Amino acid sequence: MSVNMKTDVLVTLSNRHTAWPDPVDLSEAGCTGVRIIAKGRVLRLLDGGALAPWIHAARDRGIKVLLDLPGDRPLVRRLSGARRLTIGDEVVLADSMEETSRRNPDSKIIYVDHGRRLVDDVIVGDEIDIADGAYVFSVNAVDETQVTMRCVVASPVTLSARSVGRRKAALRVSCPTASELKLAARLGPELADVFIVSFCEQESQIASIRKSAIGATVFAKIESARGYAEAARIADVADGVLVGRHDLSTELEPSAVWEIVRNTAEICRRAQRPVIVGSGILESMCDQSKPSVTDVADIRRLLSLRVDGLLLAGSISVLHPVRAVRVLRDLCGCPA
């Protein structure tokens, strides 16, 4: 099964939504694809079949469904401000911002993506490496929403959103996880046109999905420097590539992220694979009715690379998905 992503306008749907937009409204606005992030509440709804009617309605309208399998990589999203940590500092890895009242006010808070899985996987005594070992933390306590740990090795460099770490040595990162593979095998092409492998850094991750979901179309999501280093090999075996700019920006400077987008688009053209770029698109429309000049320039710059699709994500996909799709469609020159 092949998927042509040429000129596609896509929107992300996740457990951050309290209500999902009507597929009819998305279709009429010019949306040609939806990325569904299979984690948290959404994963449970998918698992129980509650989202099947919505997905069937979307596909009946010609909207392709891309099921994103996020894996369990403990990527640090952001810090509560840049920090210069010292040995003995307490740090909290949290999967939610809702429990701040329970925390020690002197703690340094670091928010992590997939934090719930991190909570499930670590135990007291584990060590967590951040910034390639520049910082090492010993886990002191684990509860339902957070991991509390104490710094045992501290770099003289200030810990910032761009220097925060890539992995915990004690965790075996699995993207996709066993439960996601099982979900892919059960759903197959019946509900998903495409499976997206998040944090794809090696060809074998693509093969694991193909083995579980026979005949599935598999896209690789490049969102780390290590993944980009393997982009040519990954593009050769994947059916397409999604470049996640937000996650790349936690590791790299903006100029480096742009180079990765540009070079990955060229790699995909040579491999004759579609490439989608996501994150940070039309975010200015979260609090204003028209896109900013910067957002418009960004979209035109991406279109100059002849990318095959642009993906709305983040807050804009939650607050104003239909309106943002309509504006992006017009900027791309896509027919309604």
Going by the DSSP 8-state scheme, the letter that residue 22 receives in this structure is P
Where is average pLDDT lowest: 135-139, 149-153, 291-295?
135-139
Q: Which residue has the higher pLDDT, 36 or 154?
A: 36
Helix (H) or strand (E) holding 140, with range, is strand 135-142
Q: Which residue has the higher pLDDT, 120 or 188?
A: 188
Q: Give whole-number Cα distances, 4 to 109, 289, 294, 309, in Å.
A: 42, 31, 29, 10
Q: What is the percent of the chain where pLDDT is above 90?
A: 41
Strand partners, 159: 83
Is 50 exceeded by the pLDDT of residue 219?
yes
Q: Which residue has the higher pLDDT, 332 or 80?
A: 332
Helix (H) or strand (E) holding 35, with range, is strand 33-37
Is 60 exceeded by the pLDDT of residue 114?
no
Is 70 exceeded by the pLDDT of residue 137?
yes
pLDDT of residue 124: 86
Of 192, 170, 169, the residue nearest 180 (C-alpha): 192
State pTM to two decimals.
Answer: 0.75
Strand partners, 10: 33, 311
Instruction: Cite the residue boundaries of each domain of the chain with CATH code 2.40.33.10.
Output: 76-153
Helix (H) or strand (E) holding 118, with range, is helix 115-121
Place of tokens 């790349």: 248
Report, at the CATH architecture level, how domain 76-153 is classified: Beta Barrel (2.40)
Q: Which residues contact 140 (CB under 8 A, 6 or more apart)?
A: 90, 124, 148, 149, 150
Q: What is the mean pLDDT of residues 224-234?
A: 91
pLDDT of residue 65: 95
Is 80 exceeded by the pLDDT of residue 38?
yes
The C-alpha angle with vertex 79 and arms to 122 and 96, in degrees rounded to 5, equals 55
pLDDT of residue 292: 94
pLDDT tens-place string over residues 316-331 = 998 999 999 999 999 9
Is 70 exceeded by the pLDDT of residue 169?
no
Is 60 exceeded by the pLDDT of residue 208?
yes
Q: What is the percent of the chain where pLDDT is above 70?
A: 80
Which strands sit side by side in the sheet containing 146-153, from one edge to the other?
76-79, 108-112, 90-94, 146-153, 135-142, 127-130
Strand partners, 244: 278
Instruction: Cite the residue boundaries of each domain of the chain with CATH code 3.20.20.60.
Output: 8-71+174-332
Write the CATH number of the domain with boundaries 8-71+174-332: 3.20.20.60
